[in-house]
Amino acid sequence: MTVTNSAPAGPALAFTPTGLWPQVDLMPPEVRAGRRLKHVKRILALVLLGVVAVSAVGYAGALVAANSAAADLESVQQETARLTAEQAKYAEVPKVLGDISQVETARRLGTSTEILWTPYVNALRAVTPAGVSIDNLVAVGSDPLRQAPAAANALAGPSIGSIQFTAKSLTMIDTSDWLDALDGVPGLGDAWFSTETISDAGGVTFYQVSATVQITTTALANRFASTEGN
C-alpha cells in the first residue's frame, strides 16, 4: 500500500527576475577626465597627422611646380641666348636696309624730273618740214632743287621746262602746220614761233625762225616712281 503525503497548496509568489542590478559609478572624476583628455588628444593627433599629410602633399606639389618653372626658365634663357647670338649675326642688316632706303629715296628724288631726250629729239626731227634744218637746240627744265623758269609765252599752260631752237630753210616755212605737229607730240605743247627773219650767207638767202615748245609732265620718265610706296 502506498501512502502519499501531499502538502497543502499555498499561495503563488508573484516574482519576475529582471537580470539588472543597480549600477553605481564609483570611478573618481579625475580618471574620467583623464580618459576624455586621452580621447581628445587622440583626435588632435589624427587631425595633426592629416594637416601634416596635406602640407607634405602641398609642399611636394609646390616643389614639383618650382622645379618645372625653373626648367622652363632655363629653357627660355637658353632660347633667348640663342636668339641674341643669331641677332648679332644680322646686326648690320638694319643699317644696310636703311642705306638701301636712303639710296632709293635719293634715286627717286634725283630722277623725279628725268626726261629721256632721245625720243623727243627724234620726234622733233620727224615733224620738221622737209628742207628745214634745226640749229641751236636748247632744253631748259627743272631739277629736284629748282623749278623750271616761267614760259616766255604768257598764254602757255603749266610746264616743267621748254625746248628752244632755231630753224633754217631756203624757202618760206609753213609755221602753222609745224606748230600743230609739235603740239601733237606727247609730252610737248604750246609751241610758238617768236621770230622769223630772212638772212644771207655767202650769197645764199634763207629763212630763219626761232621757236619754243613747252614740256609737260607727260614727258617725265618716272622710271623709279613705282618704288615710292616701298
Question: Residue 166 sits in a domain of what CATH number?
Answer: 3.30.70
Could you tell me what percent of the chain has a pLDDT over 90? 10
pTM, two decimals, is 0.53
- The C-alpha atoms of residue 127 and residue 30 are separated, in whole angstroms, by 138
- Coil, strand, or helix at residue 10? coil
Helix boundaries (H) for 7-28:
none
Pairing of strands 204-215, 188-201: antiparallel
In a domain, 14, yes or no: no
- The C-alpha atoms of residue 209 and residue 173 are separated, in whole angstroms, by 8
In a domain, 190, yes or no: yes
- The C-alpha atoms of residue 128 and residue 2 are separated, in whole angstroms, by 190
- The C-alpha atoms of residue 60 and residue 51 are separated, in whole angstroms, by 14
- Over residues 55-107, the pLDDT tens digits come to 888 888 888 888 888 888 888 888 888 888 887 777 787 888 888 888 888 88
Count: domains in the chain: 2
Q: What is the pLDDT of residue 180?
A: 92
- The answer on 134 and 78 residing in a single domain is no
